[in-house]
Amino acid sequence: MTKISIIGAGSAFTQDIATDILTIEGLDGGTIALVEIDEKRLDIAGRLVLKLVEMTGKNWNVIASTDRREVIAGSRFVINQIEVGGLENVRYEYEIPLKYGVNQCIGDTMGPGGLFKTLRTLPSWMEIIRDVEELCPDSVILNYTNPMSAVTLLTSRVTEIPVVGLCHSIQNTSRRLAKYAGVPYEELQWRAGGINHMSWFVELTHQGKDLYPVLREKIKDPELLRKDPVRFDAMKYLGAFVSESSGHFSEYIPYYRKRQELIDLHCSAGYNGATGYYADNWPTWRRENDEKIVQQLEGARPIELKNSHEYAAVIIEAMLKNEPKVIYGNVPNQGLIHNLPYDGIVEVACMVDRNGVHPCRFGSLPEHLAALCRANMAFFELAVGAVLNRDKEMARHALMVDPLSAAVCSLAEIGDMFEELYEAERDFVPVLR
């Protein structure tokens, strides 16, 4: 019987992923193992998944523990969605950089926030990997934890267990592009590749017609431009639409958040680039998600068995039923994208069957787009290297090559900002020499 472990089961991803797994046609039983260090959130997740099993009428066993070693043995799939020290540190990672002029919207992938999330996440994740190697060495790791590229890069460096990083950027953005262009999603064709949160739709067509001229004409309407201000502006100058939201993307390149007038011009509310959006709202979102689940369990809110656009269950179904599917995954490059670092992590189309996840060769990105990706990949390489080598200087250098920090600060200012963050989060990050 198939066993699937979800580590970090208190995450908001659990409801969608469990629903997707339990509604796979023909997959009528197995074991779902839930791991969560917060006992209250583990209880909520456990009761939710049991309720979903009951609603589907299938024969799935649900086990749960705060000790992963008690429950993950023999897993075929290990889904990672951990959060390490987030509530304690999210304000530091927003407020300290802001003192230096580094204005972040999300701060979970690049920039000061992304660096320190990497430093506090990877040591705990390495401990989990060692347990996976011992207790379920034949598994496949499906990673949802941000910073996606850094977590997947480290995993590929420290274990032979197959790993694929999974996001919803391509799925959500392709649907959004179909709406923007006014074409049926089922008829939209595209070719996309790059890195997580910065994959580029280098081709976008409908019935053989290039949709980029259509989009460039449509964004003359200020109402449409306001719906995705940074991404549309970047498309106008760079020639391709990017896979992650305007707010996320505004942090990954040096053009949009380095002066207040640019932020006012391009970055609007919410995920479109609001200052401090994640720091101001994530603790509330987390609490509200828990409250929503409790209300669902008590019958005060409905539970829908509605499939999401996440890829985890698509991979599980394709491998277990040997029914080939195509996903977009984050995987070791190894020449898939010719003009990105060979040993970095890239996001490309992948075919999945009973033998696993098979990335598809992309070729070369337009060089200016590859250059923007390479800057981010250098940051990830240094951040991961800092953890693996316990090297404080590598971590500091990562922040020095970060596009947003470099656009705003001098090297001395970045060094001071790094030290202030390091002192604030000393209890959550590894001791770096």
CB count, 10 Å around CB of 98?
15
Of 374, 366, 404, nearest in space to 239 by CA? 366
Q: Which of 168, 197, 266, 368 is catalytic?
A: 168
Residue length of the chain: 433
Distance CA 18, CA 296 (A): 15
- Which residue type sits at 304? E
CB count, 10 Å around CB of 303?
16
206 is catalytic: no
Pair of tokens at residue 51: 């309720």
Task: Please name the residue that has the structure tokens 């049926």.
Answer: 184
Point out the residues that are catalytic: 168
